[in-house]
Amino acid sequence: MIRLNNVYMSYGGNVAALHDVSLHIAKGDFVYVTGASGAGKTTLMRLFYLAHAPSRGQILIDGQNITRFKPAQIPYLRRDFGVVFQDFKLLPNRTVLENVGITLEVLGWNKKDIARRVNHVLKQMGLEHKVNSTPQRLSGGEQQRIALARALVNEPKILLADEPTGNLDEATANQVMSVLKEANIRGTTVVVATHDRHLLDKHPRRVIMVDKGRISEGGDEA
Amino acid sequence: MKRNKATNRALKRPKLSGDAGGGRFGYFVTRAVMNIRQNMLVNTLTVGTITLGLLILSLFLLVYVNVEGLAENWSEKVQVTVYFESEPDPVTLRNLTSQVEALSGTANAKFVSKVEALNRFRERLKGQEALLDGLAPDILPASLEIRLKKGHRESAAVDAYVSRLKKIPGVAEVQYGEEWVRRFSTFMSFMRVTGLVLGAFLVLAVVLIVSNTIKLTIYARQDELEIMALVGGTKWFIKIPFLIEGIIQGSAGALLAELVLFGVYFAFLHNAGNFLSFNPADAGLSFLPLEWLAGLLAGGMLLGLLGSLTSLKRFVRI
């Protein structure tokens, strides 16, 4: 599903953010990308949906070399991804329905279908009663689950979660992890970036270790 | 639609090519209106800035239009007079008048006989007519008074007109108040250049202020743009609601500016008599012509559209 061949990435200057990275994540896999802060986890994840372009190397998503994509093709690539951030990135002046529905709006769904689908996903998350609330009125855990709902509402092929449990207490973190596992069971490839060893121990899965911009462990499938 | 029933399989996606096509105009307008409602404070500030900027500009235009109208009235005083040594006979006069009237630039030509000239003079000396007692009735010469058309009343144009006039047989002595015409022309040129320079500065200032305000409001909504791009919004799908928002802000600002301008004009017209030595209602002050008002509205819309477009270029990079 995701394959990187000798990828280099720098933010300008001589310091490389990623150095000769090669890895493969199979369809339906559940993978952790781990490493110390600043090791390059987020940079690596952002490459998958072309938030950055690599300086060198090849990135294949579902068999397509996305480094050759024209700018106009990028939105269509991103529709195969669901992305969750540690800081949620919810729109404060929009309701939960609108925040989650934005993914479907982009796909051209009509209002009625969006409402139905969003309600369905919120029900799975146990948040259907919050559909008309704005994010400020929700707890951190609820906000993270809304962000997850936004990422999963169109059943993406790949879900990328950057420190999804970073700001949450253990019970809420477990809730979030079970949502990720459920999505994985339904066929979504899940990639979670985290530096939380506790999470890795509690929910053990394949681990890709990033260290100073290089893959130090787990780049290829076990 | 069975989309909502899809849980364990990939959702059926609509055809991608139609995602941001023209058929979605209704969606874009609704989105723009919702965005305005959800960002009321920012939008009010933007509309307020546009209103203020365009109000200053339209006040300037109003003053300019009226000063030019006033100058246009003064220019009617530009008159070319042909004097005759002796009164021409009716046939010669008719011939001469028709030749003068055929000259380009002539508005009308009026013959003033010696008797009429003396009568006019007498009228001007009202109360002191005795001064004229004993004078022969043919002391003043007969003349042909020519008024010029608009656009032929400035120094160079009058000079050219007079030299053409002098070529007509029978026209010998011509007077036209060269000094006054010269000063008037200088004044008109000065006014136009000053108006143009001031106007250009004002337009530049308004454009800069408004585009920077719009840039700030879009900057404040960077997250929204980022998320739209993240979930796969195409460039124009993201931009169009913002552009419509800009057009709505621009036209609302322009309409408000015109409304306030009309209020100011109306209040001035009816109250300025109290503190000015003349009553502006009698002075024939005019409001901006309809096409200028339409231009201002179009300018406001364009300002909103271009302000949004240039700002979005920085923040939407797909």
Closest CA–CA distance from residue B9 to any residue of chain A (Å): 7
Q: What is the DSSP string of A124-180?
A: HHT-GGGTT--GGGS-HHHHHHHHHHHHHTT--SEEEEESTTTT--HHHHHHHHHHH
Q: Does any domain span residue A222? A: no
Q: Are strands A30-34 and A189-194 parallel, antiparallel or unpaired?
A: parallel
Q: Does B8 touch chain A (CB under 8 A)?
A: yes
pLDDT above 50 (res B286):
yes
Q: Which of A103, A106, A123, A132 to mutate to test the interface with B (most CBs of B within 10 A)?
A: A106
Q: Does B178 touch chain A (CB under 8 A)?
A: no
pLDDT score, position A136: 92
Percent of chain A whose predicted confidence (pLDDT) is above 90? 61
d(CA A102, CA A112): 13
List, for residues B195-205, the tens digit of each pLDDT value. Answer: 999 999 999 99
Q: Does any domain span residue A62? A: no
Q: Which domain holds residue A160?
A: 31-45+73-217
Maximum mean pLDDT: which of B50-59, B177-186, B187-196: B50-59
Read off the pLDDT band of A2 (50, 70, 90): very high
CATH number for the domain that contains residue A83? 3.40.50.300
Q: Which residue of B has its CA nearest to A82?
A: B231
Structure token digits, residue A167 = 């700001």
List, for residues A45-99, the tens digit of each pLDDT value. Answer: 999 999 988 999 999 999 999 999 999 999 999 999 999 988 889 999 899 999 9
Of the candidates A75, A94, A108, which has its C-beta nearest B318's C-beta? A75
Of the candidates B3, B18, B223, which has its C-beta nearest A91's C-beta? B223
Residues of B within 8 A of A150 (CB-CB) are 231
Total domain count, chain A: 1
Asked if B10's CB is within 8 angstroms of A106's CB, the reply is no
Q: Does B38 touch chain A (CB under 8 A)?
A: yes
Asked if A103's CB is within 8 angstroms of B232's CB, the reply is yes
pLDDT above 50 (res B236):
yes
d(CA A26, CA B114): 112
Q: Does any domain span residue A55? A: no
pLDDT score, position B9: 44
**Is the complex ipTM more than 0.90?**
no
List, for residues A172-217, the tens digit of each pLDDT value. Answer: 888 889 999 999 999 999 999 998 888 899 888 999 999 988 888 7
Q: Which of B29, B227, B235 to mutate to test the interface with A (most CBs of A within 10 A)?
A: B227
Q: Name which of B180, B198, B202 is nearest B190 in CA terms.
A: B198
Closest CA–CA distance from residue A180 to any residue of chain B (Å): 14
List, for residues A89-148, the tens digit of each pLDDT value. Answer: 999 989 999 999 999 998 888 888 999 999 999 998 889 999 999 999 998 889 999 999
According to CATH, the topology of domain B79-175 is: Alpha-Beta Plaits (3.30.70)
Q: Does A50 touch chain B (CB under 8 A)?
A: no
**How confident is the prediction for chain B on average, in pLDDT?**
84
pLDDT above 70 (res B281):
no
Q: Does B159 touch chain A (CB under 8 A)?
A: no
Give strand ranges (E) for chain B. 79-84, 106-112, 142-148, 173-175
Q: Does B68 touch chain A (CB under 8 A)?
A: no
* Arithmetic mean of pLDDT, B198-225: 91
Map out the domains of chain B as residue ranges. 20-73+186-315, 79-175
Q: Does any domain span residue A39? A: yes
pLDDT score, position A60: 94
pLDDT score, position A152: 94
pLDDT score, position B27: 84
pLDDT above 50 (res B293):
yes
Residues of A within 8 A of B9 (CB-CB) are 155, 187
